[in-house]
Structure 1
Amino acid sequence: MNRSLVVEKIREHKKQPNLRYALKVKVEAFTDRLFNMLFDIDTPVEQNLDALEREFDTLVDLACWEVERPCKKVWENYIVKLPTVLESLNLDAEAIVDCDPASLSIEEVYMAYPGFYAIAIYRLAHELYEIGFPLVPRLMTEYAHRQTGVDINPGAKIGKSFFIDHATGVVIGETAIIKDNVKIYQGVTLGALYVKKSLQKTKRHPTIENNVTIYANATILGGNTVIGENSVIGGNAWLTGSVPPNSTVFHTPEIKIKTMPNA
Structure 2
Amino acid sequence: MEKDRHTQETSCRRDAGRSSSFRAHLPEIVDQIVRSCENRQCCHHTAYEPIPSRESVIEIVEGLRDVIFPGYFNRNRMDPVNLKYMLGQSVSGLYDMLAEQICRSIRHDCFRYEKPCMKCEEQGQEIALALFRSVPDIQAMLSADVAAAYEGDPAAASEDEIIFSYPGIFAIMVYRVAHRLFEFEVPLLPRIMTEYAHSITGIDIHPGAEIGTRFVIDHGTGVVIGETTVIGHNVRVYQGVTLGALSLPKDAGERLRGKKRHPTIEDDVIIYSGATILGGDTVIGRRCVIGGNVWLTASIPPDTRVLMEPPKLVYR
**Shorter-chain TM-score category?**
over 0.9
For residues 210-243 of structure 1, give each alpha carbon's deviation from its aligned partner in whole angstroms, at most 9, with x where no partner exists: 0000000000000000000000000000000100
Return the alpha-carbon distance in structure 1 between the equivalents of residues 226 and 118 of structure 2: 27
Equivalence for 2:230: 177
Counterpart AA for 2:118: R
Equivalence for 2:40: none
The CA deviation at 1:37 is 1.5
Return the alpha-carbon distance in structure 2 between the equivalents of residues 142 and 243 of structure 1: 31
Go from structure 1 to structure 2 and tell me whether the alpha carbon gap of 1:244 and 1:99 turns closer, same or farther (over 3 Å shift). same
Counterpart AA for 2:135: L
For residues 13-57 of structure 1, give each alpha carbon's deviation from its aligned partner in whole angstroms, at most 9, with x where no partner exists: 343336978711110011000111111323732111101011113
The answer to whether residue 97 in structure 2 is matched with residue 40 in structure 1 is: no
Q: Give the 3-state SS of the residue equivalent to 1:211 in structure 2.
A: coil
Equivalence for 2:99: 57
The answer to whether residue 266 in structure 2 is matched with residue 209 in structure 1 is: yes
Equivalence for 2:309: 252
For residues 52-103 of structure 1, give each alpha carbon's deviation from its aligned partner in whole angstroms, at most 9, with x where no partner exists: 0111133135322227224322112222111101100000000001111111
Higher radius of gyration, 1 or 2: 2
The CA deviation at 1:159 is 0.2
Return the alpha-carbon distance in structure 2 between the equivalents of residues 144 and 210 of structure 1: 25
The answer to whether residue 27 in structure 2 is matched with residue 4 in structure 1 is: yes
Residue correspondences, number: 259
Equivalence for 2:74: none
Gaps spanning 5+ residues in structure 2: where? 1-23, 38-43, 72-77, 112-116
Q: What TM-score does the superposition give when structure 1 sets the normalisation length?
A: 0.93
Counterpart AA for 1:113: Y
| 8 Å CA contact retained: 1:148, 1:168 | yes
The CA deviation at 1:129 is 0.6
| 8 Å CA contact retained: 1:237, 1:250 | yes
Go from structure 1 to structure 2 and tell me whether the alpha carbon gap of 1:20 and 1:165 turns closer, same or farther (over 3 Å shift). farther
Counterpart AA for 1:213: I
Counterpart AA for 1:114: P
| 8 Å CA contact retained: 2:206, 2:225 | yes
Q: What TM-score does the superposition give when structure 2 sets the normalisation length?
A: 0.78
Aligned partner of 1:224 among 270, 281, 284: 281
Segment of structure 1 superposing worse, 64-73 or 147-156: 64-73
Go from structure 1 to structure 2 and tell me whether the alpha carbon gap of 1:255 and 1:20 turns closer, same or farther (over 3 Å shift). farther
Return the alpha-carbon distance in structure 2 between the equivalents of residues 211 and 12 of structure 1: 57
| 8 Å CA contact retained: 1:23, 1:63 | no
Gaps spanning 5+ residues in structure 1: where? none
Counterpart AA for 1:56: L
Q: Give the 3-state SS of the residue equivalent to 1:164 in structure 2.
A: strand
Segment of structure 1 superposing worse, 14-23 or 143-152: 14-23
